[in-house]
Chain A
Amino acid sequence: MKSQVELNGMLDNVVKKKKGIWQQSLNWRTALLYLLPSLILFSVFLFYPMGKTLYLSFFLTDRQGEANVFVGLENYLYLLESEAFLKSIKATILFVLYTVPTGIIISLFLALLANEKLKGIGFFRTIFASTMGISVAASSVVWLFLFHPSVGFLNKIIASLGGQGVDWLLDPKWALLSVSITTIWMNIGFTFLIILGGIQNIDEHLYESAKIDGAGYFYQLRRITIPMLSPTLFFVITVSLINAFQTFGQVDILTQGGPSESTNLIVYSIYREAFVNYQFGTASAQSIFLFLCILVVTILQFKFGEKKVHYQ
């Protein structure tokens, strides 16, 4: 004799078998419903443009951006031979090297300062993080005034010290550096805030234990703070790298890619190619190239950088 429970169990199985694909996929369909809003948004603003860009990069286009003649990989080959594009890549790489390490080191330094328990430290935390709340356009305009060759604040300081003023944005030797300085200043707010958060997450007892062992400030910094901060630093480096590759606004306002294309960073170059020269094909090819660059850098970073990261 089978007990009632067993019978019920068998009955359940029979019912389950009768459930069709429609019943079995209930969970999937529910999940899909929840995903739908983001799927729609991503499709409209991300997946479709990406596909379209890839498509256009294989064509010559008319002034409306409609695909005209299929040219295969010729757009890419043209780019690799184009001196302007190679110069733009060189400028971009230099720009990344100028801004990312410097920005992170300065932010780390400020975060360490702002982490000290002092009276009125909240004021400094706000000040240091404040550039996060300023738009790229507004801060670029401010820096435009600071960089002004004759009435700019920077040159006035140099003049008052008896030095020769610098053509910050007009001298091809200085222009990229000037844009980098502006960018570092603008990025500090975000980077500072994330690093400060990371520092404050470190267990205070670790430092107390180290203090009892007699470890000094720099020993603690080297053996506790930096290793414990590695996940935060990794995140910040990744985000800063991607941001630096995608810089556009400050270039547009400060230099328009000049002088003599010394600040023609890749995204600005794409913009000019597409909306000034109406070469949507080569612009798309540049975009795909940039996308691949960022992808490769990020993958490399995850592959080699993450090993040194300690997650709790």
Chain B
Amino acid sequence: MKNVELFNVSKSYEKQKEVISDISVSIEPGEFFVLVGPSGCGKSTILRMIAGLEDITKGSLRIDGNEVNLLPPSKRDISMVFQNYALYPHLNVEENIVFGLDVKKVKKFERKERCMEVAEMLGLTDYLKRKPRHLSGGQRQRVALARAIVNQAPICLMDEPLSNLDAKLRAHMRSEIRQIQRKLKITMIYVTHDQVEAMTMGDRIMILNEGKIQQVGKPIDVYNAPANPFVAQFIGSPPMNLATANINLSKQELSIGGRLKLSIPSNDLQSYQEDTVTLGIRPEYLKIVNSINTKSTNNYLDVKVEHVEVLGNETIVSFQLDTYRWQAKWNGQWNVDVGDIVPIAINYESICLFNSASGHLIKGPTQVENHIIHEVTV
């Protein structure tokens, strides 16, 4: 177990604009750390800089406290899994797995032993003599994984390792990789563009956009209190609904397009200086109002359904709110037709507010459906 620290790391190509700017983060030993962002945000470049495959233009990279900016990849105690697996097509599975050991002149007996051990762990024992082209996508993925862990490097880097697999296999490999990481206590740095992978696998995640850190934190914290509208829309599916809202301090009111008015508790008033903010709300917090009583208050909206997706255990309803397209997610199956008028309630407790200029989070949701298993069972 080793830690990896980045101090003000930047990267620019041929003195052009920086593609990575000022990244500082400390990755703890044994942590599963996920870099996530849209394609072209620089997450792979950061990974390749940690691996030593790209130069670091500015800043310092430390592994276990020692600066390693100038060390070659092989001296950094890392292993890496590539997106296309980078298996040697002319070597069979066994030769692929022990390639690194062969380079390091590990004894033949030990090589064999370690190979068998890893093959067993990943269920590759029957395929050791096959060439990569005779393996399925999932098996190739496992070989790539085996090749990374057979080196027993304390740090493992993965560059979108699951993106070439089908959805079912991907879900399976997610938990498998996570389990292996826990078992071997490797420090894992994992790059993905898939927010589901980030949410489900990471101890902590770092969301990147255009080469800049947007937010670093535990997945659930990022989900509940996104630092800015970008993170809010990137993490979570369907994404967080956003709209411009106006604050009327004298009336203690928050209004969306003049149609929906939420009253602001007096405690919160002093934190609002601006007139307009960006309001965000997760699709699952958009509740349907089904009793007439609750309609007496102001905090509901009649919206016209534009699209419905029933996913079996949940229903996603899309509608237009002013110029924004919003989506609501309800548990269970709802018999809603396109064109229906549905009353939707918004609670002040479950909304996020962002500064409309800088994008910073002003207020996160205070009422989250956060269940703790001990409380339920006791």
Binding site for B on A (CB under 8 A): 203, 205-206, 208-215, 219, 223-224, 227-228, 230, 310, 312
- How far is the CB of B370 from the nearest CB of chain A, in Å? 41
B123 at the interface (CB under 8 A from A): no
Please, how many angstroms separate the alpha-carbon atoms of A310 and B78 in the complex? 30
A212 and B73 contact, CB distance less than 8 A: yes
Is A310 a contact of B82 with CB atoms below 8 Å?
no
| Ranked 5 nearest A-B pairs via Cβ | A214-B74, A213-B100, A205-B86, A310-B90, A227-B90
Q: Could you tell me if B53 and A211 are in contact, using CB atoms closer than 8 angstroms?
A: yes
Given A211-B72, A211-B73, A212-B79, A203–B84 Cβ distance below 8 Å?
Answer: yes
B90 touches A228 (CB 8 A): yes
A213–B103 contact, CB under 8 A? yes
- With A208-B73, A227-B88 known, 13 other A-B pairs at CB within 8 A are A203-B84, A208-B80, A209-B80, A209-B82, A209-B86, A211-B73, A212-B51, A212-B53, A212-B80, A214-B73, A214-B103, A219-B103, A310-B90
The answer to whether B103 touches A310, judged by C-beta atoms less than 8 angstroms apart, is no
Instruction: Identify the B interface with A (CB < 8 A).
Output: 51-53, 72-75, 78-80, 82, 84, 86, 88-91, 99-100, 103-104, 133, 147, 151
Offer 25 A-B interface pairs, CB within 8 angstroms, sorted by A.
A203-B84, A205-B86, A208-B51, A208-B73, A208-B82, A209-B80, A210-B103, A211-B52, A211-B53, A212-B52, A212-B53, A212-B79, A213-B74, A213-B99, A213-B103, A213-B104, A213-B151, A214-B73, A214-B100, A214-B104, A223-B99, A227-B91, A228-B89, A228-B90, A230-B90
CA distance A192 to B72 in the complex (A): 31
- CB neighbours (8 Å) of A219 from chain B are 103
Contact A211 B89 (CB under 8 A): no
Smallest CB-CB separation from B131: which chain A residue?
A: A310
Residues in B neighbouring A223, C-beta threshold 8 A: 88, 99
Cα separation A205 to B81 with both chains bound (whole Å): 10
**Which residues on the B side are within 8 Å of A227 (C-beta)?**
88, 90-91
A214 vs B75: C-alpha distance when bound (angstroms) = 8
Min C-beta distance of A76 to chain B, whole Å = 44
- The answer to whether B99 and A210 touch across the interface, beta carbons within 8 angstroms, is yes
Most buried by A among B51, B75, B89: B89
B75 contacts across to A, CB distance below 8 A: 214
Q: Which of B74, B79, B84, B133 contacts A211 (CB 8 A)?
A: B74
Q: In the assembled complex, which residues on chain B have CB atoms less than 8 Å from the CB atom of A212? A: 51-53, 73-74, 78-80, 100
Alpha-carbon distance between A206 and B75 when the two chains are bound, in angstroms: 18
Cα distance A230–B51 in the bound complex, in angstroms: 30
The CB with the most chain A CB atoms within 10 A, among B51, B72, B78, B103, is that of B103
- Which B residues touch A206, using CB under 8 A? 86, 88
Measured between beta carbons, the chain B residues less than 8 angstroms from A211 are 52-53, 72-74
Bound-complex Cα distance A120 to B31 (A): 45
Query: How many Å from the CB of B146 to the closest CB on chain A?
Result: 13
- In angstroms, Cα B78 to Cα A203, docked, is 21
User: Complex: how many Å from CA A215 to CA B88?
Assistant: 14
Q: Please name the residue on chain A nearest to B144 by beta carbon.
A: A209
User: A312: which of B79, B80, B89 is its contact (CB, 8 Å)?
Assistant: B89
Complex CA–CA separation, A177 to B99 (angstroms): 43
CA–CA, A310 and B79, complex, Å = 27
Residues in A with CB closer than 8 Å to B89 are 228, 310, 312
